[in-house]
Amino acid sequence: MDAKTNPTFADDRAQFYLAQGGGYKGPFRPSELMTRIRSGQLSWTDHCFREQDGVWIKISDHPVFKHLQSGAGTQSGTAVPPPFRPKLAPSLKWYVFSNEVQTGPFDTGLILKGCAEGSVLPDAFVWNENYTEWKPIQEVDEFRACFQQKSSSNAERRVSKRRPLIAQVYVTNLKEVVSAICQDVSTGGMQVITEAVPGRPGEIIRLNVLPPADSGLPPFVAEGEIVRLLDQNKGFSFKFTRISPEAVDAIEEYVS
């Protein structure tokens, strides 16, 4: 496979703007610019802008793309004159506090993506340099709509009460079985510690949970969705989608 035809980028974030007549469009990922060049929608003589560069640079001269040119790829023609420099608003950095763990900083777009994928939960708190205290993420204008769209009822928005539970867990994605440890449990789900997470947020897996005898909880089986990966991929949060009523009653009694 020709790396110049199918290049990979160490940093493929959307951070490039394209000169379009007297204005600009974007941001685009480097891979998107290469796709446009290959399809003929964009020329090597067009200009691009990246905030860290601070100036408009012809694509053929930009260090990210310069080495990807071939003899056939350097088209002749008149370069589009670069427009004015975009006045980009500084990216607001956020910190997230969830499940007694603080992470960050993240930009707004990354947190919105996490909200949509389920890796940022509705009971999280956020903070940025403009705040004097942590705020519930659902009360922040930038993120409120994301949770309103995902929630169809008050019951879905309710945060279940949790209680620590150290229990042996066997996890399967129907392809492999992984041994893990339950860290805490609620009637809505649990947090699981493992070095080998058998899936990504949004995927359905099954758990066979073996609580210790002194917990009063009987063994139970549950099916559900991975909603969030823990810090450094050391485990995951799991939401029950199929669990017996008897198991739910036992968990409710345990956490109460």
| Angle formed by the axes of helices 141-150 and 108-117, nearest 10° | 10
**Least confident span in 31-35, 113-117, 146-150, 154-158:** 154-158
Answer yes or no: are the C-beta atoms of 104 and 95 closer than 8 Å.
yes
pLDDT tens for each residue of 20-68 = 665 678 889 999 999 998 888 888 888 888 888 777 888 888 899 888 8
pLDDT tens digits along 56-104:
888 888 899 888 876 444 444 444 455 555 554 456 788 888 877 788 7
Judge if 3 and 83 occupy the same domain: yes
Q: State whether 24 and 3 are in the same domain.
A: yes
Alpha helix (H) residue ranges in the chain: 30-39, 108-117, 141-150, 154-157, 245-255
Examine the fold and report which residue of 39, 61, 88 is the final residue of a domain before the chain moves on.
88
DSSP state letter for 78: P
Domain match, 168 and 141 both: no
**Tokens matching residue 18:** 């394209």
Identify the band that residue 120 occupies on the pLDDT scale cut at 50, 70 and 90.
Answer: confident
pLDDT for 119: 77
Q: What is the 3-state secondary structure (H, E, C) of 156-222?
A: HHCCCCCEEEEEEEEEECCCCEEEEEEEEECCCEEEEECCCCCCCCCCEEEEEEECCHHHCCCCEEE
Rounded Cα gap, residues 42 and 39, in angstroms: 8
120 and 82 fall within a common domain: no
Say yes or no: 185 and 249 in one domain.
yes
Indicate whether 70 and 99 sit together in one domain: no
How is the beta sheet containing 23-28 ordered, strand by strand?
23-28, 16-20, 47-50, 56-58
CA-to-CA distance for 29 and 254, rounded, in angstroms?
Answer: 49
Which of 88, 113, 144 is the last residue before a domain boundary? 88
159 band by pLDDT with thresholds 50, 70 and 90: low
Whether 133 and 190 share a structural domain: no
Last residue within a domain, chosen from 157, 176, 197:
157
Give the model's pLDDT for residue 155: 43
pLDDT band at 160 (very low <50, low <70, confident <90, very high): low
What whole-number distance in Å separates Cα of residue 216 and Cα of residue 226? Answer: 26
* Same domain flag for 134 and 183: no
Q: Which CATH number characterizes residue 239's domain?
A: 2.40.10.220
Does residue 1 sit in the same domain as residue 82? yes
- Check residue 41 and report its DSSP letter: S
Domain boundaries, position 211:
163-255
205 has pLDDT over 90 = yes
User: For residue 200, how many C-alpha atoms fall within 13 Å in the half-sphere facing its CB?
Assistant: 2
pLDDT(220) > 90: yes
Comparing 215 with 119, which gets the higher pLDDT? 215
pLDDT band at 207 (very low <50, low <70, confident <90, very high): very high
pLDDT for the residue numbered 32: 92
Q: Residue 136: which CATH number?
A: 3.30.1490
Tell me phi and psi for residue 229, to 5 degrees: -90, 140
Tell if the pTM clears 0.85, that is, is over it. Answer: no
Q: How far apart are CA 30 and CA 47, in angstroms?
A: 13
Interatomic CA distance for residues 242 and 251, integer angstroms: 14
What does pLDDT average to over the chain? 80
